[in-house]
Every structure is written in structure tokens, then in C-alpha cells.
């Protein structure tokens, strides 16, 4: 058979014509394979039934063929079978009615973008040294080639809005209208699939389901991982871009930290050939995620899996052929299983590394420490067994440090979340924490939230130059004074929390007395007893509506069992930010005693103390209001001020209780 070549055609290594059984019977041929030495060997395998919710690939040894039926059509229509051996060599066969022009010839004649090398060979070379990236990751880029994602903004918008009109060829043709390079052609196909094809959870859980056909995927706009990979490959081939499907193991939906992999493969993705080099993509994971609690799919575009750097891709993708790792040196399956798994959001949110680099941690003397390095200041939080307890998380300018103290012996689940530039915390790391000893002396308050200690975040919120830069404050007598500068227009609020003792929701602010001296705020703290307490700091812009926002907290520790400080006096709204109380600091006064008062009050005309009788306070030369009163016959004592000398209305600013006789 003579094939006429034009300037845009490509060479064909082999054309294999396979006749239907009906025609072979009419010609008197036998069905024995030896009678047709050119026929493809039949293999069972390729796509297998579903296990754990994802279609499986069968793993073959040696040089067995990994056959994949790309698309089954009506007997009278052209059928295309594409197969690969374990070296990645591709064989494409068409089965078509007699006298019909082979579709491959049509496509090859029209595929002007398929460039041949100097020998006329259109098949891309197999992955080799030129494609390999250094392992471990060099922190240079998340991508395997230089990319400026801003250049794709208009292209991405266009591709996401293209709709299916008829078939796959027309869809690709519409997408390519705005694409002018192989990179842009791959990009529009990637964007369209990620924004239009939904992961079919129900179909993925069915057993013995046939392979997804592109026509069915376009009609239902649903598929599973092998359907995503097959559709991506087919669309790339129509666009004239070399692409292959890569099966392997994955740390995806249902993965358990530290699990091992064996038997059938559970995932499939793609490799594309761009600018003389192979690159990796996973459109399944680029399109969204499955909620483990509801098994529902949600579209949530993930840029990370487009042309991912191979040293990062290997963290959750292990291919059947090590060459498709595109790494030097390649990783073994055992390394893949034991290596720390950093989720895609770990890198999306600017993380660089985490220590220790193992997914299973063991406590030392009841404690485990994790540190994370990031490119920029980032907010973090953690959960131990689903609760934000039993840990001290401190922020750093380029990362964070977490000291975790499991409350019981055994195995625990530790999750770490990061916020990045978005308003949502995303899970970035998961650890299995094994504890064989509990330090009972380290029992943290349940209300100790994250982060602990001042940091770049507290500076950003208007609190600077703290007197105590460390997150833990030890006090021997149960008292401490903490101060910091506060930016103009910022109000500060503090509350004290402990797991035991007299502190309640009503009194959690009464063990703190707040003073303001120009731009510096001071918090005087008196603990009701020995123990560990969380001192929470909140801020709010004075002129803006809304609630106070939590910024950070200190951990206050006292081992002195003799400590038994009373509450401070209760202050009211007219107690000014710049006022100062020198005495009495105790909110509970003794009965039948004369008590001295000394305060600095700004902007008042008169001041007095009111109990059973009224006692005026006088302003001394140092600017303090002084005086005394008797607590005889009183249950409560009030300090009152007159702000305007022309008025007779006094305001309450402080309230004291008097002990019972």
C-alpha cells in the first residue's frame, strides 16, 4: 500500500489492519492466533475494577504489555486501541470498516503541529537524563519549567468559559483559538478539564465498570482518575501535543499516614512533552477534592498539579516506571512510603520545609517538637485528635514552632494548618504521634489558644515592643506586670483563663488591671492560686464597629501553693484608658477599716468615694486624687467622678466589694 506524503504529513512506522470476525469467517480464516501473526496479543488487565473508590491499574512484570482500550465504539465505527509497554513505547491500532479511510491518516495529515525530528520520527524520546530534576527539591520553583502565571490570566478565563457544542474535536478546536504555543495548548486543555469535569465518586466505587469513553465524559461531565488522564491525553493528541498516561500509586483520598503500597495501582496522571522535555500534570487533583466525611466532590481548582516540579510530585505520586519520576536519583517505593507527605497546600501557601522529616513521631519525655520554614510570615494552627489543645504554637517571621504534649499514652493524630494569603486555614501536614510517657506536670489550660507569645502578627495588629517576648512567664508570688506599646487608635482587652479555681466567665477580667501611660499599656495580673493560666490579648480599632479580635496569649505559670490573690476592683466604661490606680488594688476591702485611695484621673473636676457615707478625694501637687473612707456598715464601695464642674451628675468608675463582718 503506497502512502502519499505531503509537506505536513508525518511518517508512520506500521499500519496494522484488523478485520472483523464476520469478515474473517467469510474468508475461511481461523481464529487461532498463529494464523494471524500480526495480531496484537490479548491481555487481561489495564484498567481493573474499583478498590477504595478509585479505578485500579494492573501492574505487570517484565516486558508485558499494559494495554488500555482508549475508546470502544459501535462495530461499524472506527475503533482506536492505544497500548504501551513498560518502557513507554506506544502502539496505536485502528479497527475500521472496509473501504473507510483510516482516521490516523486523516489526523496525521491535518496535524500540522506535530513536528518530526531530523530523521522524520514523530515519536518523542523516552524520559532520560535531560528530563531528570535533582532530588531533593532545590526550592527554586514549584514548577518544572519557568512560568509566569499572570500570562495565563486571559487564556484561563477564555478556556474556562468554552462549552461543548458537539464532539471532542470541535471542543479542542474551540479551545485552541486563543492558544499559540504548545504550552498554551496544554494550558487551555488543563483549565477546561479542571473546571468542567467532576470526579464521579459513585462510579468510582462500582466494581467491574468499563473504561470511561471521552464521548461519555463530555456528555455527563463526570469521570474518575483514569477518565481524567485518558481525556487529557486524547485532547492533547488532537491538539498535536505529545502526551502519555502514567499509572501508579498515590497518597490521595483515603490515604493513611505511613501506609504501604502493593498490588494494583490506584491512580493515573499524565506526562506532556513541552520545549524538548517531559513534564507532569494531574488534572484529577487539579479539579477539586472529595470530602472524606461526606464522600462528595467539590470543584476547587488547584494550580499545584500543573507542570509540578518532579521532586514535589513524587511526594504523592509514584509511577509504575521509575523513569517517569523524572528525578535523579529516582526514589524507591520504600522511600515513597516512608517519606514525609507535604500536601499541595503546604507548597501553595509558601511552605519550604518541615522538621522532623518523618510522618511518624515519637515523644521524648512526653513532648514532641515540630518546626516549619516558610517563605514569608504565615499564620498556623494545629489540632491534636480533633482539638486545639495540648500544644504551644509560636509564630516566627519565616515559619513556626510547635511543642506538643499528648495527654495520654498511645497513638495520636496531629494535623497542622496554615492560612497563607487566603482567609481559610488549609491542612498542610499530618503526623502520627506515638507517646509512651506523659509528663503530668505539663498540663496546659484548655483555653490556651494559638498562637502563644508576641510575634510579627501582634506587631501587625498594633502591639509592639513587648516587655516579655517569650510566650511563657513564670511568677513566684502569683503576680506579674506585662507592658507593650500600642499604636494610635487601637484598644486592648485582656482576660485570664484557668481550668480550675474561682475564675468564671464573669470574673476572667477581674484578675487583670489595665493601665495606659501615653502609648504604653500595662497589664497587672494577680493569680487566684497556683497553676497554669492563659492570658489572652485582644485588640480593636476604636473608631470601627465590631468585636475585639484575638491576637495571642501568654502562658502564666506559678508553683507557689500559698498564692491566693483577690480580684481587682471592677471598672466601668468611664474608667479612662490613661487613668492609673495606685491603691487599693484589691477588689475586696476589709470590713470596719479605714481604707486609703490614690488614683490618677484625667479630665475630671471632682472625685469622691461613696459607701455608707461620702468622702471627697483631693487633687495633690503630683496630680493624684487622694483620700480615705470607712468600710463600716458597707457591702460595696464606689469611686465616682464629676467630669464637668457645671453639672451635678457623677459617674461610677470603680466598684469594690467589702468582706462580710
Whether residues 536 and 425 fall in one domain: no
In a domain, 606, yes or no: yes
Whether residues 194 and 259 fall in one domain: yes
We report the CATH number of the domain holding residue 217 as: 3.10.620.30
Is residue 267 part of the annotated active site? The answer reads yes
Q: Which three cell numbers stand for residue 336?
A: 515513597
User: Is the C-alpha dihedral spanning 344, 345, 348, 349 positive or negative?
Assistant: negative
Q: Give the CA angle between residues 151, 155, 158 to the nearest 5°.
A: 155
Range of the domain at 405: 346-435
In a domain, 451, yes or no: no
Report the C-alpha gap between 21 and 23 in whole angstroms. Answer: 5
pLDDT of residue 79: 53
Quick one: pLDDT band at residue 483, thresholds 50, 70, 90? very high
| Cα 579 to Cα 570, 585, 609, distances in angstroms | 14, 13, 16
User: Is the C-alpha dihedral spanning 120, 124, 129, 134 positive or negative?
Assistant: positive
pLDDT of residue 67: 33
Is residue 195 part of the annotated active site? The answer reads no
pLDDT of residue 208: 62
pLDDT of residue 576: 76
In a domain, 114, yes or no: no
**Which span out of 110-119, 555-564, 565-574 was modeled with the highest average pLDDT?**
555-564
Return all residues near 15 (Cβ < 8 A) that are at least 6 apart: 1, 3, 102, 104
pLDDT of residue 91: 55
Quick one: pLDDT band at residue 646, thresholds 50, 70, 90? confident
Report the C-alpha gap between 286 and 300 in whole angstroms. Answer: 8
Residue 91 has φ and ψ, to the nearest 5°, of: -130, 120
Quick one: pLDDT band at residue 3, thresholds 50, 70, 90? very low
Whether residues 231 and 362 fall in one domain: no
pLDDT of residue 507: 80
CA atoms within 13 A on the CB side of 529: 8
Q: For residue 522, what are the β-bridge partners? A: 483, 515
| Cα 71 to Cα 79, 171, 211, 432, 517, distances in angstroms | 7, 17, 8, 43, 78
Q: Give the mean model confidence (pLDDT) for residues 130-150.
A: 94
In a domain, 225, yes or no: yes
CA distance from start to end of the chain = 118
Q: How many domains does the chain have?
A: 4
Beta strands in 487-605 (DSSP E): 490-497, 512-517, 520-526, 531-541, 549-558, 570-571, 580-583, 588-589, 594-600
In a domain, 625, yes or no: yes
Question: H-helix or E-strand containing 36?
Answer: none
Q: Is 661's pLDDT higher than 80?
A: no
The model's pTM: 0.76
Quick one: pLDDT band at residue 93, thresholds 50, 70, 90? low
Q: With pLDDT > 90 as the criterion, what percentage of the chain qualifies?
A: 64
Q: Give the mean model confidence (pLDDT) for residues 21-33.
A: 37
Q: Which three cell numbers stand for residue 48?
A: 481493573
Whether residues 362 and 321 fall in one domain: no
Q: Which three cell numbers stand for residue 541?
A: 480599632
Residue listed under C-alpha cell 517484565: 62
| Cα 230 to Cα 71, 243, 245, 561, 598, distances in angstroms | 9, 10, 7, 70, 82
Q: Is 423's pLDDT higher than 90?
A: no
pLDDT of residue 256: 87
Whether residues 193 and 233 fall in one domain: yes
CA 343 and chain centroid, separation: 7
What would the pLDDT profile of 377-405 be if each residue is shown by its tens digit?
999 999 999 999 999 999 999 999 999 99
Report the C-alpha gap between 575 and 604 in whole angstroms. Answer: 11
Per-residue DSSP letter, 565: -
> Could you say which of 298, 332, 366 is where a domain stops?
332
Whether residues 381 and 488 fall in one domain: no
Whether residues 182 and 287 fall in one domain: yes
Among 46-50, 156-160, 233-237, 605-609, the range scoring the smallest mean pLDDT is 46-50
Beta strands in 405-500 (DSSP E): 410-418, 426-435, 463-464, 472-474, 479-486, 490-497
Whether residues 494 and 356 fall in one domain: no
In a domain, 77, yes or no: no
CB contact at 8 A, 218 and 174: no
In a domain, 9, yes or no: no
> Could you say which of 435, 469, 485 is where a domain stops?
435
* Cβ count within 10 A of residue 481: 13
Nearest Cα to Cα of residue 569 among 659, 509, 517: 509
Nearest Cα to Cα of residue 552 among 349, 395, 391, 369: 395
Is the bond preceding residue 451 a cis peptide, omega within 30 degrees? yes
We report the CATH number of the domain holding residue 372 as: 2.60.40.10
Q: Give the mean model confidence (pLDDT) for residues 469-494.
A: 95
Q: Which three cell numbers stand for residue 421?
A: 494569603
> Could you say which of 304, 332, 360 is where a domain stops?
332
| Cα 340 to Cα 511, 599, 648, distances in angstroms | 45, 59, 72
Q: Give the mean model confidence (pLDDT) for residues 564-586.
A: 86
Beta strands in 304-358 (DSSP E): 306-308, 317-319, 327-328, 351-355
Whether residues 278 and 136 fall in one domain: yes
- Check 131, 182, 266, 282 and give the catalytic one: 282
Per-residue DSSP letter, 76: T
Nearest Cα to Cα of residue 191 among 315, 85, 306, 349: 306
Higher pLDDT, 318 or 205: 318
Q: For residue 595, what are the β-bridge partners? A: 629
| 158-177 burial: b if 16+ Cβ within 10 Å, else e | bbeebeeeeebeebbebbbe
Whether residues 414 and 548 fall in one domain: no
In a domain, 448, yes or no: no
Is the bond preceding residue 356 a cis peptide, omega within 30 degrees? yes
Return all residues near 301 (Cβ < 8 A) that are at least 6 apart: 194, 195, 286, 287, 288
pLDDT of residue 602: 86
- Check 225, 435, 480, 634 and give the catalytic one: 225
Q: What is the pLDDT of the chain when averaged over all its residues?
A: 83
Q: With pLDDT > 70 as the criterion, what percentage of the chain qualifies?
A: 80
Report the C-alpha gap between 498 and 444 in whole angstroms. Answer: 9
Q: Give the mean model confidence (pLDDT) for residues 170-186.
A: 97
Quick one: pLDDT band at residue 136, thresholds 50, 70, 90? very high
Whether residues 228 and 365 fall in one domain: no
Report the C-alpha gap between 77 and 233 in whole angstroms. Answer: 21
Helix (H, G, I), strand (E, B) or coil at 345: helix
Helix (H, G, I), strand (E, B) or coil at 660: coil
- Check 133, 242, 267, 279 and give the catalytic one: 267
Is residue 282 part of the annotated active site? The answer reads yes
Q: For residue 393, what are the β-bridge partners? A: 402
CB contact at 8 A, 612 and 634: yes
Whether residues 249 and 385 fall in one domain: no
Report the C-alpha gap between 228 and 212 in whole angstroms. Answer: 9
Amino acid at each position: 500500500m503506497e502512502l502519499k506524503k505531503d509537506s505536513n504529513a508525518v511518517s508512520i512506522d506500521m499500519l496494522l489492519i484488523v478485520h472483523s470476525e464476520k469478515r474473517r469467517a467469510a474468508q475461511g480464516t481461523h481464529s487461532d492466533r498463529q494464523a494471524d501473526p500480526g495480531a496484537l496479543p490479548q491481555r487481561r488487565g489495564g484498567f481493573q475494577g474499583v478498590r477504595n473508590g478509585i479505578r485500579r491499574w494492573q501492574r505487570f512484570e517484565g516486558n508485558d504489555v499494559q494495554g488500555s482500550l482508549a475508546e470502544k465504539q459501535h462495530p461499524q465505527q472506527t475503533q482506536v486501541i492505544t497500548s504501551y509497554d513498560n518502557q513507554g513505547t506506544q502502539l496505536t491500532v485502528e479497527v475500521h470498516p472496509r473501504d473507510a479511510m483510516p482516521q490516523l491518516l486523516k489526523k496525521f495529515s491535518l496535524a500540522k503541529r506535530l513536528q518530526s525530528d531530523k530523521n522524520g520520527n514523530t515519536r518523542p524520546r523516552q524520559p532520560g537524563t535531560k528530563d531528570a530534576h535533582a532530588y531533593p527539591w532545590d526550592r527554586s520553583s514549584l514548577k518544572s519549567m519557568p512560568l509566569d502565571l499572570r500570562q495565563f490570566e486571559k487564556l484561563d478565563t477564555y478556556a474556562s468559559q468554552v462549552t461543548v457544542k458537539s464532539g471532542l474535536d470541535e471542543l479542542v478546536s474551540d479551545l485552541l483559538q486563543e492558544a499559540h504555543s504548545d504550552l498554551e495548548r496544554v494550558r487551555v486543555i488543563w483549565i477546561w478539564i479542571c473546571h468542567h469535569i467532576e470526579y464521579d465518586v459513585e462510579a468510582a466505587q462500582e466494581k467491574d465498570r468499563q473504561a470511561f469513553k471521552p464521548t461519555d465524559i463530555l456528555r455527563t461531565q463526570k469521570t474518575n482518575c483514569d477518565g481524567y488522564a485518558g481525556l487529557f491525553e486524547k485532547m492533547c493528541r488532537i491538539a498535536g501535543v505529545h502526551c502519555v498516561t502514567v499509572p501508579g500509586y498515590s497518597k490521595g483520598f483515603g490515604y493513611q499516614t505511613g501506609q504501604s503500597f502493593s498490588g494494583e495501582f490506584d491512580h493515573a496522571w499524565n506526562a506532556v512533552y513541552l520545549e524538548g522535555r517531559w513534564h507532569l500534570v494531574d488534572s484529577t487533583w487539579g479539579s477539586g477534592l472529595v470530602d472524606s466525611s461526606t464522600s462528595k466532590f467539590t470543584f476547587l481548582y488547584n494550580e499545584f498539579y500543573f507542570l509540578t516540579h518532579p521532586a514535589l510530585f513524587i511526594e504523592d505520586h509514584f509511577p509504575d516506571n521509575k523513569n517517569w519520576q523524572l528525578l535523579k536519583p529516582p526514589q524507591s517505593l520504600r522511600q515513597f512510603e516512608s517519606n514525609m507527605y507535604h500536601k499541595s497546600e503546604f507548597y501553595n501557601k509558601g511552605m519550604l520545609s518541615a522538621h522532623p522529616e518523618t510522618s511518624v513521631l515519637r515523644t521524648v519525655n512526653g513532648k514532641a517538637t515540630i518546626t516549619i520554614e516558610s517563605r514569608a510570615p504565615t499564620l498556623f494552627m494545629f489540632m491534636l485528635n480533633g482539638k486545639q489543645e495540648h500544644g504551644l504554637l509560636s509564630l516566627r517571621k519565616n515559619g513556626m514552632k510547635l511543642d506538643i504534649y499528648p495527654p495520654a499514652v498511645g497513638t495520636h493524630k496531629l494535623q497542622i494548618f496554615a492560612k497563607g494569603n487566603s482567609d481559610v486555614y488549609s491542612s498542610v501536614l499530618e503526623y502520627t504521634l506515638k507517646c509512651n510517657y506523659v509528663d503530668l506536670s505539663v498540663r496546659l489550660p484548655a483555653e490556651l489558644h494559638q498562637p502563644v507569645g508576641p510575634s510579627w502578627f501582634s506587631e501587625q495588629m498594633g502591639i509592639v515592643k513587648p516587655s516579655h517576648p517569650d510566650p511563657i512567664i513564670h511568677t513566684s508570688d502569683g503576680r506579674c506586670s506585662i507592658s507593650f506599646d500600642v499604636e494610635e487608635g487601637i484598644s486592648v482587652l485582656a482576660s485570664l483563663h484557668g481550668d480550675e479555681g474561682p475564675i468564671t466567665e464573669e470574673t476572667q477580667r477581674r484578675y487583670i488591671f489595665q493601665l495606659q501611660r501615653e502609648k504604653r499599656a500595662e497589664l497587672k495580673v494577680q493569680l487566684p492560686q497556683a497553676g497554669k493560666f492563659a492570658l489572652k490579648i485582644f485588640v480593636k480599632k476604636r473608631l470601627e464597629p465590631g468585636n475585639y479580635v484575638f491576637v495571642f496569649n501568654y502562658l502564666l505559670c506559678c508553683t507557689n501553693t500559698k498564692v491566693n490573690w483577690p480580684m481587682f476592683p471592677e471598672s466601668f466604661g468611664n474608667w479612662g484608658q490613661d487613668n492609673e490606680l495606685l491603691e487599693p488594688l484589691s477588689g475586696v476591702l476589709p470590713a470596719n477599716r479605714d481604707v486609703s485611695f490614690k488614683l490618677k484621673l484625667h479630665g475630671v473636676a471632682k472625685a469622691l468615694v461613696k459607701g455608707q457615707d461620702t468622702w471627697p478625694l483631693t487633687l495633690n501637687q503630683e496630680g493624684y486624687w487622694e483620700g480615705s473612707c470607712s468600710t463600716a456598715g458597707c457591702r460595696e464601695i464606689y469611686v465616682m467622678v464629676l467630669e464637668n464642674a457645671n453639672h451635678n451628675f457623677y459617674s461610677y468608675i470603680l466598684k469594690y466589694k467589702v468582706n462580710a463582718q
